[in-house]
Amino acid sequence: MADGRTRVYITVDVECAEERILGDTKSPAMGYDLRIWGRFVNQREPLGIELIMRELEAYGQRGTFFVEAIGSYSFGMDGLTSVCQALHSRGHDVQLHVHPVQRRADWHTRGEPRVSDDIADYPVEEQTRLLLEGRDLLVRAGVPASELLGYRAGNFGASNDTWRAMKRAGLVLSSNYNPCYFSKNCKMQYPGARLGLFETPEPGVYELPVTNFIEPTKRFRHLQITAVTLDEIKHCLLRYRALGVKEVTLVTHSFEFYFLDSAEARRGFPNRLNVERLRGLCRFLDENSKDFEVDTVGALARRLSDAASSTHGARDVDEGAPPSLQFPHSNAIHHARRVVEQAYKRVAQRLTFG
């Protein structure tokens, strides 16, 4: 970071949806049109990745889109290709995302057991095969192989073995270390972890952790558009910058900007609050460009790879940064506002679907 700005990574997990069972209820599998493009019969404009790209591009920004590849076996290679080419042709960064369960997204209808969706549950050899398979699918979909250097696991469900698998698969940059998910899916534990970019125990593999803060309830909260308010995002960005952390990584999904009314009827409605959060983030970063720079995972991974092969080493990694994880805290006012905003979203959804 030669000019001293904090780099901000706006990352989007792009994925279809497998069949899901909740009690006696089965939600259907949803493919590219609904889950990724957000195309609905009652909406003039798509509410998925097209909306996200448009909001970013309005401020000259580019996002990193972690595109799920294994689902192409269930939902079609043509759909994956159209998504990758649309993103890539508009200058956005495409990197690898894998949900193993989507190989057979209609597993329940088939009468098959549901396989684990967390890559951490597989031995390192199988993890490596999944990564190579996913990368090859994205290459078939039109993404240049030389650009595919980053990986995010479905559900952040990675382990330390995932770093080993990435090394074997020729991947450079992981974005999976997420304290908010330590009690859920993420099984990564490493005493050398930092708030920003850090080197993993696997030589040549680096981790760009998902940015977290500590709530007044003492729990971790990650910077996800649908999960935190714009005020919390701004506060966290400023606190991380004050701490001297060089990288902040935010998360969203292709489906966070609409309410799904009916998959069968292909009806949905904009999630206006989440759209305003994304728009407000882009505006804030643009207005504070002297302090913040929007970067992509692919660009960072290429710099790390190039620097590691030189005599100077990986210069993006700040060797002088303290290893301790002193996460910033949010305040009670921001927390209270989020409770109100999230309640508003639930009410808006119920009123919309009446």
How many separate domains does the chain show?
Answer: 1
Give the pLDDT score at 240.
96
Q: What angle do CA 16, 137, 101 make, to 5 degrees?
A: 40
The C-alpha atoms of residue 85 and residue 66 are separated, in whole angstroms, by 13
Q: Give the pairing type, strands 198-199 and 206-207.
A: antiparallel
CATH of the domain at 101: 3.20.20.370
- Can you say how many angstroms the Cα of residue 190 is from the centroid of all Cα atoms in its chain? 21
Give the pLDDT score at 323.
40
DSSP element (H, E) containing 97 = strand 93-98
Give the pLDDT score at 123.
98
Q: Is residue 1 part of a domain?
A: no
The C-alpha atoms of residue 114 and residue 315 are separated, in whole angstroms, by 43
Q: For 182, which DSSP code?
A: T
Q: Is residue 103 part of a domain?
A: yes
Q: For 188-213, what is each residue's pLDDT tens digit?
A: 999 999 999 999 999 999 999 999 99
Torsions phi, psi for 24 (to 5 deg): -95, 5
Give the pLDDT score at 318.
63
Q: Is residue 33 part of a domain?
A: yes
Give the pLDDT score at 351.
61
Q: Is residue 25 part of a domain?
A: yes
* Axis crossing angle, helix 272-287 with helix 49-57, rounded to the nearest 10: 30
Q: Is residue 337 part of a domain?
A: yes
Grouping H, G, I as helix, E, B as strand and the rest as coil, residue 281 is helix
State the residue range of the domain holding 339.
Answer: 6-353
The C-alpha atoms of residue 167 and residue 201 are separated, in whole angstroms, by 11
Q: Is residue 241 part of a domain?
A: yes
Q: Is residue 278 part of a domain?
A: yes
Q: What stretches in the chain show pLDDT beneath 50?
A: 1-2, 321-323
CB of 222 closer than 8 Å to CB of 178? yes
Measured between alpha carbons, how far is residue 123 from residues 128, 130, 164, 187, 233 in Å?
Answer: 9, 11, 11, 13, 36
Q: For 92-149, what is each residue's pLDDT tens digit?
A: 999 999 999 999 999 999 999 999 999 999 999 999 999 999 999 999 999 999 999 9
Q: For 41, which DSSP code?
A: T
